[in-house]
Every structure is written in C-alpha cells, then in structure tokens.
Structure 1
C-alpha cells in the first residue's frame, strides 16, 4: 500500500531561528556578522527571510552558534520545499478550471489516467499525464509553438485543443513503449507492397501485422481511440528521430483505415521531420497543401487515377465486376467502392455491403 510523505502545515525560514538564537545568547546582528565573517546586510537579509542560508553560511553559523551546519541547511531545505509546495498548490488551484476542459471520465474508461474525484486531484493527474508542471507549460507546448526546435505544433486552430492534446499525448506514451530499428526510407518504400498484400488478404491479426511491418522499417504505429470532441483520424510526427503514426480508426471502415495509413506514410516520405500532421478539419493554407499531397499519395497507392478512370469508363459496377477490378488492379473491393462513392460515380447506397468494417481495438 502506498504511503504519503508527511508535509508540515507550515515551515519557518532559518532566519527566524537565527533571530531567536541571537536573542538567547544576547548577541547583536553586527557582532554576529563580524564573528561569522559575513556582511551585516547579509545577516539582516537572512533574518528577514529575504536571503537563503548557503552551505558556506551554515558552516560559519555553526562556529558562532554551536548549532550544527546540517541543522541550518535542513531548516533552509524544509522551508524551500514548503514554499515550493505552496506555489504548486496555487498552480493546482489554477489548473482545476483547466482540467474541466478534458473528457476525464472517458480517459479513465480507456485506461489512460487514474480515477479521482476532486477538480484538484484531476488537475494533478492531468499535469502528470502530460508530464508538465503548469497550465502555462501546456499552453506553451501545445498552443504557442514554443518547441519549434523539436517540432512545429499548434492546436490553437483545432476545435478542441484539450481533447486533441490528450489524444496526441496518449499516442506518445504508446510509442515510447515500442522498440524499433532505425528508420529506413528504402524499407518503408518497399513495405508498401507488403502492406497492400495484407490489405488484400485480410489476415485475422491484421492490426498487429500492419504494426509489425511498419516497425521493420523503423516506423512506430500506434492505435489510439479518439476522444469526444476530438474527431481525429490520424496523425504523423517524428519523436526523437523516429517517425510515429497514430491512428484512431474512428470511422471503423476498412477502406478508410487503409487510406489513412498510406496518407500518414505519405507524410513521412514527402514532408519534413519538424512538422506534426493532424488529420482533422482545420488546416492552414500550407498545411492543406501538404494534406492534399498526402491524399494524392495514398490514393495512388490504393488505386491509381488511371485504373480508376478505366473502371469508370467500363461503367459496370456490380459486385462481381468490383471484385474483378480489385484482382486486376491489385487492391481491395472496398477501396474501389469507397472511391466510386466518394467521387459520386455511384450512390452511397450502392454496394455498401462491400464496405467492410474494421475494429482496431477488439
């Protein structure tokens, strides 16, 4: 059973003890300063609690007061800790309102965070989850782009930056548990054909198989359920020199899962290591340009425009025809149906039974 460290309700600055001791031995501050070889103004500052007792001071105080140096240092350390905890409590109180912005109950249900009751406990738990010390630190990290040297991230334009940041953080924690070899661009390019084979043959362990294949190329792939108010399909970013793909599987559709995966792989192959790519509905002009490039990459991998045009020219969209096209163009029937529906070649009601479901978390 865990035990809590005793925290005193109050701690006094060692200057209080020094003042009491000087009164006890009937010694003036001026005389004490002289005997301790310290400036008188320094001793005044210590007694007023405006200056800390250093190791050098503690040894000098020991000589004059005959109170061990470790006593003075312990007094100072306890006082400093008390003050730090008081500041921390003030920070927690401020963070209590911030904590209300997160879907805490859902995060508990998903096993991301521990169940607690009070707003203050939730604030402490969330600060620990994000590995930060204050709300300002969270804002600087996720909203204000203070880590431009590491990577560019700003969730200020997202619909719910709190939920999105929690989703991203959980992905980071999942990725941290994975061990992969160094990233190889050549292996990742070669991997595309193997991934397509997995897509076509649909093994029962598909989700884990895809993750293992990505790991062989030095890419960490994690599956993270999306949170309320954070309808994110996927994300790509580099963490400590390793590309990481995070997929939510929120649509639970086979073709969309594969489109998202190859879209994220496209970001790795086409774009910079300092960008973080988030698949939601809010993008700047530059971000949208890169999203379009990743979309084109994924579309071409799954079904090239030339192959799609040939299917459309043929004009036959029966289930048997769709399966024949899939065999001919080395793709999956659900990809073809999804593409034709998306481009409004066929209505969304046609061949919908060929749009297979997928659950990454079963």
Structure 2
C-alpha cells in the first residue's frame, strides 16, 4: 500500500455487475441473447445467468465476448473483478461491524493526533484503517499475530500497562524506520561511531535531533523518535527490520537527557551484542544500571550503556566524586566537562548509585521534547 493513500477513500460506493454492462451492450448492438449464445458457443442459459449475475464472467467467457461484441476482454475482466470486489467488501463490512468494539482497546484520540485516524469514532471505517495501519486482515488475526510475535520479544514488557498502546507505539516507530533510508548494517562502523554519538550529549537538542539519525543511518541503524503514548512505559525498542537494517526507537517518556542517552546506548548494546531475531522493548524496570535482571541481556545492555557514558578510564575519578560529602553542582559540571558528556547524565548516574538524592541536581538535566 502506498504510504499516505487511504484505500477507503478510493473505494467506489457502487459498481454495476458485468451482466448489466453486457445487457446494455447487446441492446446497443441489437444482438439477442440467443444470437450471442450461437456466436460464442455458450448456452443461452449460461448467457442469461451471466446477465442476471448468478454466474461469474470468467476470463474464457470474456475472450468469447470480445470476439462476439468487439468489447475488449480486459474490460469484461475488469468489470467482473470490480463487481466481485464490491461483493467481498460488502461481506467484509458485515463481518467487521461485529468487531468494532476492538477499537476500545486503543488510544483513539492519540491516533487522530498522529494522523493515523481521521477522527475517534468507533466505526467500521476506522476499524479498517486501524487494520491497515497494523497491516493485518482482521482483529482475530492481529491477536494471533501478537501472540506469535511474543516469542520474539526478549522481555515481555510489551504486556506491561496497556499492551495495545504499546503495540501502537511500536508500529508507529516501525513505519518511520522502514521509510528511513539507511546504508547496509556495518557492525564495525557502528562500534567506531560510538564516541561520536557520545559527544552529541553536550550538543543542543536542535543539533542532535538531526545528527543522531543521520550518523546512525550511515551504519545501517534507523534511529527514530516516537513520543510516548499514554498508558505506556516504553522508553526504547530495538527491532531488526531486515538482516541489513535495524530500528532503534526512542521515546520521550522520561523527558530528561540522562534517561534519553542511557536509553540510546542501551538499545545500541542490543544491536551490537544480541540476536537479530529478537525484539527488545525497554522500560524503566530494565534501564536501571544498578538492578540485576533475570534476563542477562538487559544487564549486559545496562553495563554497556553505563560504560560508554562514563568509561572505565574515568572510574576512579567518578568514585571519588560519588564519595564526596556535600557534593556541589559545580563539581559535577567540572567532572562532566573533563570526561566530555552532559552534566545531567552525571547527575542521573549519581542518583542511580545513591550518591545523590533524587531531589538534587535535577536542574543540570536538560528536557528532551520529541514532539
């Protein structure tokens, strides 16, 4: 389906059956049904059934009609296909009307604001649009597909809070990522890029909003920003779209730069360290550098992110800072300048390590706004 094209808007409201067109053609040419039967070798009964719409107009019949009437077979085939499509659409309309309640599971107003739906009405038209959005045939198929995909999720955080809102957020991000041009994935090049990405933490948001996706696209990583939906607690996600292209999606759920940058490097750890067949959905529960998880991949991703932001070479200096009594903001800013990262990231790390109360130092954190 072409992005931005609403197939519902292009669906004709009424299509005449091919038999009606055949009847009008015979009247125009002055050919009786019995005469047409003799010319085509078909029975009069079959011709009448085609005209009445009780028998399909097959491609073989279309070729015979072309010779007998001069009307191209392609036109007859097109009429038949349009008619059968309309009949199928009418049947689908009846079937979908029984599933309109499925819309109750989704944040309809937010889907309107993100231009997925034209309004928040609980209608068959909106149900069809939502199915198009998820690229699935029916709500039942969507449910079965979700259960099948669940095995591909390293952590079942997609089920936390509102699974439908979370699935919606992931789909919004995935559509963005698929449309983003990227070079083929290059693991070595991504590894070499990490220091440059780390240096972006000190830049203003207007700069890194553009530079981060641009740089990552050069190594096969489609970084996309998708503002958080209500009733979700997802901060980031990693999903391989093809063997040569991986999506890293980031939300603004925490609104602060320390969490944003930790989330980025956490997701990049999944890209570099973990399997291509898995999808990682990350929340506050598995973005804690100090928390041990049942899933070792989350601990690995947390260690990776923590070590990128404050490398081991600065470990002794960091420990000295963390042990300082009456820790000042000036000392935090000085340390951040020395190691080349944003001071808010240092604040976040100190808070996680309980070296700084959660109520202190937050003024050094910068607000992240993605939309």
TM-score normalized with structure 2 length:
0.75
What are the Cα deviations for residues 177-208 of structure 1, in whole angstroms up to 9, with x where unaligned? 32122221122111111122121344642221
Specify the SS of the correspondent of 1:265: helix
Query: 1:323, 1:155 → 2: CA distance?
Result: 35
Aligned partner of 1:296 in structure 2 is 303
Deviations 1:212-266 (A, max 9, x none): 2222222111111111112211111111230111111111101111101111111
Question: Which residue of structure 1 aligns with residue 101 of structure 2?
Answer: 97
Q: Does 1:254 align with 2:254?
A: no
In structure 2, the residue corresponding to 1:261 is in which secondary structure?
A: helix
* Cα pair distance change 1:212/1:52, threshold 3 Å: same
In 2, are the aligned partners of 1:155 and 1:165 still within 8 Å (CA)?
A: no
Give yes or no for contact 1:96–1:123 (8 Å, CA) kept in 2: yes
Shift of the alpha carbon at 1:46? 9.7
Give the Cα separation in 1 of the matches to 2:127 and 2:133. Answer: 10
Distance 1:281 1:319, change over 3 A: closer
- Which residue of 2 is the match for residue 209 of structure 1? 211
Aligned partners of 2:352, 2:150: CA distance in 1, in Å? 39
Give 2:359's match in structure 1, choosing from 337, 349, 353.
349
| Superposition misfits of 4+ residues, deviation over 6 angstroms | 60-63, 65-69, 151-156
Aligned residue for 2:27? none
Q: For residues 201 and 156 of structure 1, do their structure 2 counterparts lie closer, same or farther at Cα, with a shift above 3 Å needed?
A: closer
Distance (whole Å) between structure 2 residues aligned to residue 224 and residue 264 of structure 1: 15
- State the secondary structure of the residue aligned to 2:249: strand
Contact 1:267/1:294 (8 A) holds in 2: yes
User: CA RMSD for the aligned pairs?
Assistant: 4.2
Distance 1:144 1:155 in 2: 15
**1:112 and 1:170 in contact (8 A); partners too:** no
- The corresponding residue for 2:128 is 124
Provide Cα deviations, 1:302-343, integer angstroms capped at 9, x if missing partner: 124634434334446211221222233333321221112122
Alpha carbons of structure 1 residues 252 and 9: separation in structure 2 relative to 1, 3 Å? same
2:328 match: 318
> Is it true that 1:194 corresponds to 2:201 in the alignment?
no
Q: Is the 8 A contact 2:293 2:299 kept in 1?
A: no
* Aligned equivalent of 2:119: 115
Question: Partners in 2 of 1:66 and 1:191 — Cα distance?
Answer: 69
Structure 1 51/294 Cα, relative in aligned 2: closer, same or farther at 3 Å? farther
CA distance in 2, matches of 1:358, 1:206: 11
Alignment of 1:229-240 (within 5 A): 229-240=231-242
Q: Structure 2 matches for 1:1-362, cutoff 5 A?
A: 6-8=12-14, 54-56=58-60, 76-77=80-81, 79-115=83-119, 117-145=121-149, 157-202=159-204, 204-240=206-242, 241-280=244-283, 288-304=295-311, 306-307=315-316, 308-315=318-325, 317-361=327-371
Q: 1:4 to 1:195 in 2, by over 3 A?
A: closer
- The separation in 2 between residues aligned to 1:66 and 1:360, in whole angstroms, is 62
Unmatched 5+ stretches in structure 1: 18-23, 27-31
- Consecutive unaligned residues of structure 2, counting only runs of 5 or more, are 1-5, 24-31, 287-291
- CA gap of 1:134–1:214, structure 2 versus 1, over 3 A, is same
**Cα deviation, residue 72, structure 1:** 7.6
How many angstroms apart in 1 are the aligned matches of 2:118 and 2:296? 40
Task: Tell me if the contact between 1:167 and 1:227 (Cα under 8 Å) persists in the aligned partners.
Answer: yes
Secondary structure, aligned partner of 2:268: helix
Distance 1:79 1:237 in 2: 41
Calculate the TM-score normalised by the size of structure 1.
Answer: 0.77
- Once the two structures are overlaid, the 10-residue window that deviates more, 201-210 or 177-186, is 201-210
- Matched residues in 2 for 1:67 and 1:286: separation? 74
Does the aligned pair in 2 maintain the 1:254–1:355 contact within 8 Å?
yes
